[in-house]
Amino acid sequence: VVLLGSAPDPRIQNDFVNLANQLHSSHSDQARLCLTYDEPLSHLIYAGADFILVPSIFEPCGLTQLTAMRYGSIPVVRKTGGLYDTVFDVDDDKARAEAQGLEPNGFNFDGADGAGVDYALNRAISAWYDGRDWFNSLCKRVMEQDWSWNRPALDYMELYHAAKKY
């Protein structure tokens, strides 16, 4: 497990700082927790991870899951904002994905509690263990999804030209 980031709640952030200190003192040669912003490190984590967990309570856009998918890391996200707009659950969101011209690409969960996270992570880890070929095809599929501005830009151009006719 690799943890990169910070918590907006000072109490939770303090818990992570305490955990980092505890890990350093008891397992300094086996575990390390760095609570800092490090862009190059984040890209190495994306590239080396099987999953990216984004349990945000609020996420207006969400670039984390998009970057992770580009590297083939499967998103496990809370159903909120941009995370819900871009991550279509492999078990529950086929129709929603098809409506966007996409295929399911990750795992999502409701609620901001441990049970929701546990539910989604258990499904993701089971998929990794029980269906490696399927999981590898999912990784390939998420890398091929186009989240650039190319398609929205063409949609806007078509709308503009249609509006000009009136």
Q: How many helices (H) and strands (E) does the chain have?
A: 8, 3
Predicted local distance difference test score (pLDDT) of residue 27: 86
Name the phi and psi angles at 110, rounded to 5: -90, 165
Q: What pLDDT, on the 0 to 100 scale, is given for residue 145?
A: 94
| pLDDT (0 to 100) of residue 9 | 83
Q: What is the CA radius of gyration of the chain?
A: 18
Q: What are the C-alpha distances in Å from 113 to residues 54, 57, 62, 83, 110?
A: 13, 10, 20, 17, 9
Q: What is the per-residue pLDDT across 71-110, written as a single tens digit (0 to 9) for each?
A: 999 999 999 999 999 999 999 999 999 998 899 999 999 9
Tell me the C-alpha distance between 103 and 25, whole Å.
45
Architecture in CATH of 38-164: 3-Layer(aba) Sandwich (3.40)
The pLDDT assigned to 99 comes to 94
**pLDDT value at residue 38:** 87
Domain boundaries, the chain: 38-164
- Residues in the chain where the model's pLDDT stays below 50: none
Tokens of 21: 């200190």
Q: Determine if the pTM surpasses 0.75.
A: yes
Using DSSP's 3-state secondary structure scheme, residue 54 falls into strand
Residue ranges of alpha helices (H) inside 76-130 are: 81-86, 94-99, 114-130
